[in-house]
Amino acid sequence: MQVLTTIVGDRRFAIDCAEVLEILPLVAYRTAGTGPSWLMGLINVRGQLMPLVDLSVIVDGTSTAPRLASRIVVMALEADLFEGSAGRIGLLVPEVAGPFERDFASGGAHPGFTFAGASHLGPTIADGQGMVQLLRCRRLLEGDAALRELPIERWAPP
């Protein structure tokens, strides 16, 4: 399958191109001010407003420092978790490379762990640059009630 790869912390993740609608540079957004820690706020994509979610907080537990290479991956969720956003969200990732052709169903792949709260983590394979794990982005915010009910943990300077 064709995937885009991104690096969160020191781990590499892959996003299925089929799930991606569009890639945007980091644009100005209106902060949410409330809600889970991964919810950054709302962005305006050609007139349509949609929530901006920080992937680093979900995957790594730390927020992304915005830079020139930061990208917003626009994708459609299966269910409309956020009323009025037509099922679309923007996922803030530190950077994007690809698309590349990767086969996550190959013989050497690890199928992934099935703990509660990890349904978005797919199988892991090793390619020329090290190990890369497939992210099931559509499940990032669905099917896992615990994820949505994460407490608000905003990092505040001491």
Partner 1 sequence: MARSIAFHRSLLGRSLLLGVLPAAVLVVCVVALNGYRAWSDATGRLQEELQHATGLAVREVDLSNQRTVAMAHMLALGQESGQFGRRAETLRLLERVARSEESIYAAYIAYEPNGDGGDAAGAHDGVPAAALGEGGRFYPYFKRDAKSATGVTLEPLQETAEGGGLWYAYPKERFERSGVREATITKPYSYLGTDIIETVVPISMNGRFMGIAGIDVTLTRVQQRMDAIAAQLGADIFLVTRGRFIAATTDGHGDGSSSRHGTATALRATNVADSPWDALLKDAELRGDTPWIARDPVTDEECYFATGLVPTGQWRLLVRTPVSAAMAGVSAVFLTNMLTALAGLVVVVAVLALGAIGTARKVRNAQALATRIASGDLSSTREEAVTDGGDESSELVRAMHDMNTGLAGIVGTVRGSCAQLAATSVQLAATSQEQRAAVGAFGASTASIAAAVRQMCATGAELLRAIESVDAGARTTADSAVRGRIRLEAVSTKMARLDAATQEIADRLQIITEKAAAISSVVVAISKVADQTNLLSVNAAIEAEKAGDAGLGFLVVAREIRRLADQTSGASLDIHRIVEQMQASVVAGVDEMSRFTAEMREGTGEVTQTATELASIVSSIDASFASFSEVRTGMSSQSAGIAQIEQAVVQVASGARQSSAAAEDFGRVANELAHAVAVLQDAAARFRLQSDVEA
Kindly list the residues in this chain that would bind partner 1 in the complex (CB under 8 A): 2, 4, 17-18, 20, 22-25, 68-69, 71, 96, 98-99
Work out how close the CB of 23 gets to partner 1 at its nearest, in angstroms, rounded to a whole number: 5
Q: Which tokens is 19 given? A: 């799930």
Residue nearer to partner 1 on the CB measure, 24 or 150: 24
Residue nearer to partner 1 on the CB measure, 22 or 103: 22
From residue 82, alpha-carbon distances to 8, 50, 93, 158 in Å are 25, 9, 20, 32
Work out how close the CB of 149 gets to partner 1 at its nearest, in angstroms, rounded to a whole number: 32
Work out how close the CB of 2 gets to partner 1 at its nearest, in angstroms, rounded to a whole number: 5
Residue nearer to partner 1 on the CB measure, 71 or 148: 71
Work out how close the CB of 74 gets to partner 1 at its nearest, in angstroms, rounded to a whole number: 10
Residue nearer to partner 1 on the CB measure, 87 or 98: 98
